[in-house]
Amino acid sequence: MQLKSDGKRVEIFTDGACKGNPGPGGWGVCLHFNGETLEFFGGEPVTTNNRMELLAAIRALRELESLEDNGQQPLLVQLYTDSQYVQKGISEWIHGWKRRGWRTADKKPVKNEALWRELDDLSQRHQVEWFWVRGHNGHAGNERADRLANQGVESVLSEKSD
């Protein structure tokens, strides 16, 4: 499904899930734009919850490029995640990681560096506000993203059993 763009505001809810950590994992996205909703999910057979949280945000921002009639104009994006790892990582920690050559404050390599680099690149293309919401707390958008992420896990598990 292609969404039509008015070049304005996008509201995105993302979540990741993992059965075991590491283990089979999934990610889910619920995107509201121009009066329409787009939902999608995916997963990996062996991954971590943090990777799935990052991948959900990446897939959501990638999808913005396919919005019909956008003309490649930056969008105003409100992205909601229940992952403080993602929200603080992209809003706060990433600046220090970049200054230190993708090293943490204790000089260790940043975990999931390739995903962080991609998320940083994608988020620079739009005006993104990052919001943390408490997971499993009745927030409708987060609850929907959680169900989608778990569908991602189930899709991976059903592929393994085929």
Residue numbering of the annotated binding site: 15, 53, 82, 146
- Whose tokens are 């993992």? That residue is 18
Active site residue 16: yes
Q: Which of 141, 143, 146, 152 is catalytic?
A: 146
Catalytic residue among 15, 28, 143, 152: 15
Q: What is the largest CA-CA distance in the chain?
A: 47
Q: Which residues are annotated as a binding site for Mg(2+)?
A: 15, 53, 82, 146
29 and 7 in contact (C-beta within 8 Å)? Answer: no
- Which among 53, 89, 141, 152 is annotated as catalytic? 53
Catalytic residue among 25, 26, 43, 82: 82
Catalytic option among 101, 136, 138, 162: 136
Annotation says 15 is catalytic: yes
Q: What is the DSSP secondary-structure string of 96-161?
A: HHHHTTSB-TTSPBPTTHHHHHHHHHHHHTSEEEEEE--TTSS-HHHHHHHHHHHHHHHHHHHHHH
Residue 153: which of 2, 15, 32, 34 has the closest Cα?
15
Residues catalogued as catalytic: 15-16, 53, 82, 136, 146
